[in-house]
Amino acid sequence: MSQVPRAIISVYDKTGVVELGRSLVNLGYEVVSTGGTYRCLKEAGLPVTYISEVTGFPEILDGRVKTLHPAIHAGILAKRREAGHMSELEARQIKPVDLVAVNLYPFTAVAARPEATLDEVLENIDIGGPTLIRAAAKNFPDVIVVVNPERYGEILAALQAGGLDPAQRRSLAAEAFAHTAAYDAAITGYLQTAGLQSDGFPTSLTLHFQLQQEMRYGENPHQKAAFYRSLWEEGRKDTLVHAVQLNGKELSYNNIGDASAALEMVREFAQPAVAAVKHANPCGLAVGATLKEAFIKARDADPVSIFGGVVACNRAVDEETAKLMAEIFLEIVLAPSFTPAALEILCRKPSLRLLQLPVGAPQPWLDMKRVPGGLLVQEADVHAQERSAWQVVTKKVPTAAEWEDLAFGWQVVKHVKSNAIVVVRDGQTVGVGAGQMSRIKAAEIALAQAGEKAVGAALASDAFFPFDDVVNAAAAAGVMAIIQPGGSKRDADSLAAADKAGIAMVFTGMRHFRH
């Protein structure tokens, strides 16, 4: 049989493919190709063999079947060092394959398009390509497999220098299996996602994440860290992986966590809103008639803790708001846009990270938490509860202003770590008690922070009161309205305490634990 080495090239991403083909021909390779790749190489004037000339069988089913043939796969899978394999190839006049360059249909890109139909998505599930890649990667001691166009130059240089060493071949095979594994995971994720949000959870969960960036360190300098983006959620363009950084240092692990938390907070509000976040909790969250007003209220909610904080806005940052932001030290300002004047002001601070991305309304997503040996998965807490589902359970009915504060407090408290108590007034947090082991301790922290601002304010609790102590503490501070889920065995004690103090209390029937 001919000793001319054979290469199979079949790529969707044609970056560098003509140069690859030309260089292989110059090295004495016979190049075999399919469909669009064949036409691309042929139009470039390269000698190329069409796949059907090797298989003796035409492409059928609109190109769905073209490389799935023994004349191709036997040539890839045969071990050169086993005489039996080589004699079988010779008996059947099958040439061995020495190099396979393949990349796959753009399933992820198509599936991410909101307008893509199921038929379009299914047509972009590559079958022959992964089969070629896996066969070549399995036989990597004898077959060079390449899925990444960025490695063409490295491979050609090695071939020109006499050949690839075992470590290079193994590295290419590992990259090839990672490529097909990620591809299969993207398909699985696409098919499973709808079921995860409606029909329950599958017995096996396959996820697909791709490295976005390596980080200098994690929560602490001694921890390594990286940021991965979810490829089955590529259709969403309003997440941090799609943020455009307009200024500032590289984002850190903690920056991304806090920015994501702040972003989800301001999504809650239709009116101009600003969230100032420290350690994933709001130190100040407010709404206003303008973004400037909302920022002033968020800043003044806790002027100490906002220092070094992350700020998210659901409106464009204007010049006046930017001037106020520039007066204090912030790590990040996130907004849907910045006016030119605002950018000019904020970019005077070289370390201030400015992130621009769409803010939109809350959307369903899968919330995941790693634990050693497993993964906890739940629907994110984005349920928008209608006020008509709430129940006034005290003698006193909230006033119109108190209703507004109760609704605002309820939107805020779901974003505070449990046990959570939030004191609000006039669309502004005035006291936040977060992450305490007892509810009364969370209340004491929030009320102490509120001080005199607690008089006439509203209090929100993420879960029910096991005792009447929180109501009594709220009454002593001057709180006039409380919102909580209800459902405690001792609700009657809390209701009696509220009635005695003249406090209006509303039950929502929904808990918002956030651990």
Q: Are 183 and 107 in contact (CB under 8 A)?
A: yes
Q: How far apart are CA 148 and CA 13, in angstroms?
A: 9
Residues annotated as part of the active site? 138, 279
Do domains 238-356 and 388-507 share one topology? The answer is yes
Give the bridge partners for 333, in sequence order: 311, 354
Predicted confidence (pLDDT) at residue 196 exceeds the cutoff of 60: no
Please name the helix (run of DSSP H) or strand (run of DSSP E) that holds residue 75, with its range, or none.
helix 70-77
Instruction: Using only the alpha carbons of the chain, give its radius of gyration.
Output: 31
SS3 for 364-431, per residue?
CCEEEEEECCEEEEEECCCCCCCHHHCEECCCCCCCHHHHHHHHHHHHHHCCCCCCCEEEEECCEEEE
Fold annotation for 388-507: Cytidine Deaminase; domain 2 (3.40.140)
Fold annotation for 238-356: Cytidine Deaminase; domain 2 (3.40.140)
pLDDT in tens, 435-445: 999 999 999 99
Q: Are 296 and 273 in contact (CB under 8 A)?
A: no
The CATH number of 6-189 is which of 3.40.50.300, 3.40.309.10, 3.40.50.1380, 3.30.365.10? 3.40.50.1380
- pLDDT band at 282; cut points 50, 70, 90: very high
pLDDT in tens, 315-359: 999 999 999 999 999 999 999 999 999 999 999 999 999 999 999
Which class for 144: exposed (0-12), middle (13-18), buried (19 or more C-beta within 10 A)? buried
Q: How far apart are CA 350 and CA 366, in angstroms?
A: 35
Burial pattern 419-454, b for ≥16 Cβ within 10 A else e, equals bbbbbbbbbbbbbbbbbbeebbebbbbbbebbeebb
Q: Are 110 and 120 in contact (CB under 8 A)?
A: yes
- pLDDT band at 366; cut points 50, 70, 90: confident
**Which of helix, strand or coil describes residue 338?**
strand
What mean pLDDT is reported for the chain? 89
Q: CB neighbours of 467 closer than 8 A, spacing ≥ 6?
A: 440, 490, 493, 494
Q: How far is CA 33 from the centre of its chain?
A: 37
All structural domains of the chain with their residue ranges: 6-189, 238-356, 388-507
Q: Are 179 and 126 in contact (CB under 8 A)?
A: no
The model's pTM: 0.77
Predicted confidence (pLDDT) at residue 193 exceeds the cutoff of 70: no
Structure tokens at 203: 């017995």
pLDDT in tens, 105-162: 777 778 777 787 888 888 888 788 888 998 899 998 889 999 999 899 999 999 988 8
Predicted confidence (pLDDT) at residue 301 exceeds the cutoff of 70: yes
Predicted confidence (pLDDT) at residue 395 exceeds the cutoff of 90: yes
Q: CB neighbours of 194 closer than 8 A, spacing ≥ 6?
A: none
